[in-house]
Amino acid sequence: PVLVPAARRGIILYTVRDAIGRDPLSTGLPSGFRAVFEQLARFGYRQVEFAGYGQHANAPGGANLESVEGARLLRSWLDEYGLRAQGNHGFIPGSWPLTTADTDQFKRHLEIAATLGMDHMGTGGDPTNSSVKADWDRAADKWNALGGIARSFGVKLYTHNHDAAYGFLLDGGPQDAEGRPTRSSGVRKLEYFLKVTDPRLVWLEMDVFWAHVARYKFRSYTAHDGSVQQDVFDPAALVVANDRRYPLFHAKDGVVNTASGNGYDMVPFGTGAIDYRTFFSRVGHRTTHHPMVEQDNAPSSTDPAQSLEHARIGYRNIAALRRTK
């Protein structure tokens, strides 16, 4: 059977950010939200994840659609082309405890998300850039509070990972000069975050590419007793163990490059080495997962048509995925 049902095939608009941001008066290529929505729908996409609400000033609706009024206009275009908004990498308050200004801005973004009909709203950043357990405890308190606010708008709050968030948590052993732990029990940072956040309030979006980079980079840790322990990350196993916490995925591909610090170089979805057929077969639950095709380097400085062409390739390849026997 098909691994990703037609209605679940999505793309994060960051992949085609150059097309959304360019001047429609300067090119015959699709430019701005409305024209890009039309093109993505022609490819077959049925869901989009936003990466902000800005476009070129000459595009229909003007430069800044980050308002309820702008969301209504965006929603009308989504409806016109049979697309569903399914998330946004947007504003998450930097303050904790929350300032009034941050809380108000967060609520404005939730109102925009609700107007767009999103079930989910999130961020492209990690809950904290620290590896220290106390900082992840603090981040969990903050995200539980934010998730409670989001729930009052009917929206589920999610965080998106890069590689470091699936590195090892520092939670014991000798302390450094500032009293922080320097060794690990072997738990990974977002794995711990899952345990200390409320499953009714906080969700995760797995960027499968960055999870594989973490698998490549973070293969051993120094245990509390000073011994070096080997532990190879299995992204799909973590999803299976926390299935309902992972509604969203970035379906991003890479070719192996051991000369790179990341172990992979990004390429159009379905043209790389990451085994998405096996990954999506293992994680299952086709009706509750939302894979979003993403390619950070799809825009080109020399070929303005490249990002949309790579989006087309990505759709073709995600639609072709079939379950492993």
Q: Please report, rounded to a whole number, the percentage of residues in the chain having pLDDT higher than 90.
A: 97
Q: Is the pLDDT of residue 324 over 90?
A: no
Position 1 scores a pLDDT of 87
Flag whether pLDDT at 325 surpasses 80.
no
What 8-state DSSP symbol labels residue 238?
H
Q: How do residues 113-138 score in pLDDT, each as one tens digit? A: 999 999 999 999 999 999 999 999 99
Q: What is the pLDDT of residue 63?
A: 99
Q: Is the pLDDT of residue 258 over 90?
A: yes
Distance, CA of 53 to CA of 69 (rounded, Å): 12
Query: Which pLDDT belongs to residue 170?
Result: 99
Provide the 8-state DSSP code for 322.
Answer: B
Specify the 3-state DSSP secondary structure of 76: helix
Question: Tell me: the pLDDT tens digits for 58-67?
Answer: 999 999 999 9
Q: Which amino acid is at 21?
A: G
CB-based contacts of 232, cutoff 8 Å, min separation 6: 215, 219
* Token digits of residue 29: 């290529």
Predicted confidence band of residue 284 (pLDDT cuts 50, 70, 90)? confident
Contact between 205 and 250 under an 8 Å Cβ cutoff? The reply is yes
Nearest-5° angle of CA 237, CA 238, CA 240? 65
Stretch 252-276: mean pLDDT, rounded?
98
What is the pLDDT, as a whole number, of residue 47? Answer: 99
Tell me what pLDDT residue 53 has. 99
pLDDT band at 287 (very low <50, low <70, confident <90, very high): confident
Give me the mean pLDDT over the 52-56 stretch: 99
Of 54, 19, 21, nearest to 36 by C-alpha is 19
Question: Which tokens is 127 given?
Answer: 């809950």
Tens-digit pLDDT profile for residues 201-235: 999 999 999 999 999 999 999 999 999 999 999 99
Per-residue model confidence as pLDDT tens digits over 135-187: 999 999 999 999 999 999 999 999 999 999 999 999 999 999 999 999 999 99
Q: What is the pTM of this model?
A: 0.97
Give the tens place of pLDDT for each residue, 16-47. 999 999 999 999 999 999 999 999 999 999 99
* 286 has a pLDDT exceeding 80: no
Q: Provide the pLDDT for residue 181.
A: 99
Q: Could you tell me the domains of the chain?
A: 6-319 (3.20.20.150)
Phi, psi of 92 (to 5 degrees): -120, 125
**Average pLDDT of the chain to the nearest whole number:** 98
How much is the pLDDT for 288? 87
